[in-house]
Amino acid sequence: MAKFLEPSVEEIKSNRLYAEMGLSDKEYDKVVEILGRQPNYTEIGIFSVMWSEHCSYKHSKPFLKQFPTSGERVLMGPGEGAGVVDIGDNQAVVFKVESHNHPSAIEPYQGAATGVGGIVRDIVSIGARPIQLLNSLRFGELTEKQNQRLFSGVVAGIGGYGNCIGIPAVAGEIEFDSRYEGNPLVNAMCVGIIDHDKIQKGTAKGVGNPVIYVGLKTGRDGIHGATFASEELNEESEAKRPSVQIGDPFVGKKLMEATLEAITYPELVGIQDMGAAGLTSSSSEMAAKGGSGIHLQLEKVPTREAGISPYEMMLSETQERMLLVVEKGTEQKFLDLFEHHELDAAVIGEVTDTDRFVLTYEDEVYADIPVQPLSDEAPVYVLEGKAAEFSAVNHDYSNIDAQDTFKKLLNHPTIASKTWAYSQYDQQVGANTIIKPGLSAGVTRVEGTNKAIASTIDGEARYVFNNPYEGGKMVVAEAYRNLVAVGSLPLAMTDCLNYGNPEKPEIYQQLADSTRGMAEACGALNTPVVSGNVSLYNETKGEAIFPTPVVGMVGLIEDVEYLKGYQPTAGEKMYLVGELKDAFGGSQLEKLMFNEVSHEEISIDLDMEVRRGEVIRNAVKDGVLSHVQSVGKGGAAIKLGQIAAYTGTGLDVTLEATNAQSFAEIPGNYIVIVKEGQSFEAENATFIGTFGGDRVIIKTKDGEINVPVEEVASTWKGAIEKCMTSAV
């Protein structure tokens, strides 16, 4: 090991250097057992990233097995870069969501930008052309300067990367709560379209087949990024700023186009994005999936500067890179393609039949590891969970003022319009966006067809904290509702599980109970999980975020013609589908009045969700309804206010509910507007009033909201901008 000064195997053991990389004593002993000797510095670095929570899911794997992952339309489920679902006519939709939480907390612009870049490459590595970006964001309250800075940086990073690479942002969600103080959540989702015969897998097979590196030259940025994402944030996290990668969207665009051209070459054997753990994960995982060995000659890796060691090369998370395996003798064809796209590329190794992961630098061996144990024998921990102890609180909501509450809720950034953020994203590049972000699922036409893809991304963190099992069901159902509200058939979902430290019994139990609820809802709603991501250790100074499972779901629209009439007109009748009752645990009303979660027992009826969803979807598709909204945060009164603010048109309705019940967030409720001349019937559908006029009038059993629509729109649209004008 003369070329690079690295600690000896004795120093690694005696000084417990492996612990600094995130391995426990027991895990280190297991590495020694696998190798039959003590690991060197490069080898222990490789094991530490591959066995990190971010890469191996060692605390969450047992829960992921609950999810249904197959279905008649599922062409490829979890295990590859993204899930693939059939949409007919030899076409498929490809999608996945990923987190970039810790990097965004340290460096918000680059953390968010590289999150977008990484998820785009996941979709492209399958061979699909991206058509949609979505994002789910959580921050502390916008009254704090630090949260304004994080919010501003993340939004700029998402726009800065997505706009340059030319993919429209069509939907998303943003929430603000003190539980995300210092630990924002940045979950990015991408959706692409592919023909069945172009679907690629990340596999390395065929003895002697060359391994090609393409993209940005490797630097020292992002080293141990996967490990960084697998620990709590604290005072030392700022010192780990080098762990945050730097994105280059212009190279990202070149790499996307070059990759989409490369997948048309029949000589391509396998391809994988160099994401978390960089060259280590991409090469070792491809070898494992191919049942092969792999030998990399690291002196051939394009590097940004001299003196980068094998350890640094293998753990670097430099962005905009792909790894390919191609048929022997055809490597020049691929190198010429990449040169044409002005990308650095090199043959850096070959596939072997040794079943070993071998790294050399100028013929000196820096790692020699059996492939399968590195990939498949990461430890899995089944811990003892413990439900948090609490006493359910029944708060008194009897004396609230409807109009005052309406204005306060509408003015909170969680409920307010997110135009301030979405206006920084290109929403229509490609000219196929049919429904833009704002109040509904995003809808994008499948180019050259009359089909469209509807997509949404949703989270219900306060409800999951209120009751993890029921809350887990609710987050899946909310995504389902948003898709049927635009007439699409929900197909499948991807998830991003954001939680605190799973080694704490209460957090572990949240993870166990909520994923059980999610799995049950997936089965009932026929939305299998085809891809996903887990982000644990989301804690700052010992305080965990709310348990925040986020669901991205896609739906199919067979013929977009009906959406031409999906626009409400003054004079049309409005209905509430569902019922209003006392149910406030986890609601925004509860937060506004008491700033806590009461752990009130609230449940969801999944059979009803399916029945009601089918009725709504068919009514939209058949041209009966001109507008549909699932009643979400803030309840029926707030949803009515949002409809008025979004359309610029008033409404006059009467709710058979108390003031408080008009803000209750009952699962499964919808507000629908019926087209002139059409009749609408559904289980628990009640006529409530008329769309039109210049005022928002909502009468309840014990009060009234009566506000000019201009004032409602001004409050809703201006709340976030007002906070951000004071940002530093």
Q: Mean pLDDT over residues 412-437, rounded? A: 89
**Does residue 409 surpass a pLDDT of 70?**
yes
CA distance linking residue 214 with residue 334, whole number of Å: 10
Per DSSP, the residues of 589-615 read: HHHHHHSS---------HHHHHHHHHH
**369 inside domain:** yes
**398 inside domain:** no
Q: What is the mean pLDDT of the chain?
A: 93
Q: Mean pLDDT over residues 290-307, rounded? A: 96
Selecting among 54, 102, 224, 341, the annotated active-site residue is 54
Q: Could you tell me where the DSSP H helices lie in 126-240?
A: 145-165, 225-228
Burial environment of residue 642 by CB neighbours within 10 A (0 to 12, 13 to 18, 19 or more): buried
Q: Mean pLDDT over residues 20-32, rounded? A: 94
Flag the least confident range among 281-290, 409-418, 421-430.
Answer: 421-430
Percent of all residues in the chain with a pLDDT value above 70, rounded to a whole number: 96
The residue count of the chain comes to: 728
CA distance linking residue 271 with residue 203, whole number of Å: 7
CA distance linking residue 417 with residue 404, whole number of Å: 19
CA distance linking residue 162 with residue 275, whole number of Å: 17
Nearest to 503 by CA among 361, 383, 586: 383
Assess whether 54 carries a catalytic annotation: yes
**362 inside domain:** yes
Q: Mean pLDDT over residues 29-55, rounded? A: 94
Q: Within the chain, how many helices (H) and strands (E) appear?
A: 24, 28
> What DSSP character marks residue 681?
-
Selecting among 59, 100, 102, 341, the annotated active-site residue is 100
> Residue 186 pairs with which residues in a beta bridge?
137
**276 inside domain:** yes
* 482 phi, psi to nearest 5 deg: -65, -30
Burial environment of residue 36 by CB neighbours within 10 A (0 to 12, 13 to 18, 19 or more): exposed
pLDDT digits (tens, 9 = 90+) for 556-611: 999 999 999 899 999 999 999 999 999 999 999 999 999 999 888 889 999 999 99
Residue 97 belongs to a domain with what CATH number? Answer: 3.90.650.10
Name residue 695's amino acid: R
Give the dihedral of Cα atoms 654, 656, 661, 666; nearest 10 deg: -100
Ordered strands of the 704-708 beta sheet: 625-630, 670-674, 573-577, 685-691, 651-654, 695-699, 704-708
pLDDT digits (tens, 9 = 90+) for 627-655: 999 999 999 999 999 999 999 999 999 99
Which residues, 6+ apart, have CB-to-CB distance to 590 below 8 Å?
395, 584, 596, 597, 598
CA distance linking residue 188 with residue 346, whole number of Å: 30
Which residues, 6+ apart, have CB-to-CB distance to 321 below 8 Å?
213, 214, 215, 216, 218, 255, 273, 274, 278, 279
> What DSSP character marks residue 546?
P
pLDDT at residue 1 in the model: 45
**Does residue 671 surpass a pLDDT of 90?**
yes
Nearest to 185 by CA among 123, 112, 120: 112
pLDDT digits (tens, 9 = 90+) for 201-247: 999 999 999 999 999 999 988 786 544 544 555 555 555 444 568 89
Give the chain's end-to-end CA distance (angstroms, integer): 50
Stated as kind and residue range, the H or E segment containing 372 is helix 371-376
Assess whether 100 carries a catalytic annotation: yes
Domains held by the chain: number: 1
Name residue 25's amino acid: D
pLDDT digits (tens, 9 = 90+) for 475-495: 999 999 999 999 999 999 999
**Which residue range forms the structural domain that includes residue 134?**
57-376
Ordered strands of the 433-435 beta sheet: 433-435, 442-445, 452-459, 548-557, 489-498, 529-535
pLDDT at residue 231 in the model: 55
pLDDT at residue 235 in the model: 58
**716 inside domain:** no
The encoded tokens of residue 349 equal 């190794």
The encoded tokens of residue 659 equal 């003031």
Q: Mean pLDDT over residues 132-148, rounded? A: 96
Q: How far is CA 647 from CA 313, 587, 634, 644, 660, in A?
A: 53, 25, 18, 5, 25
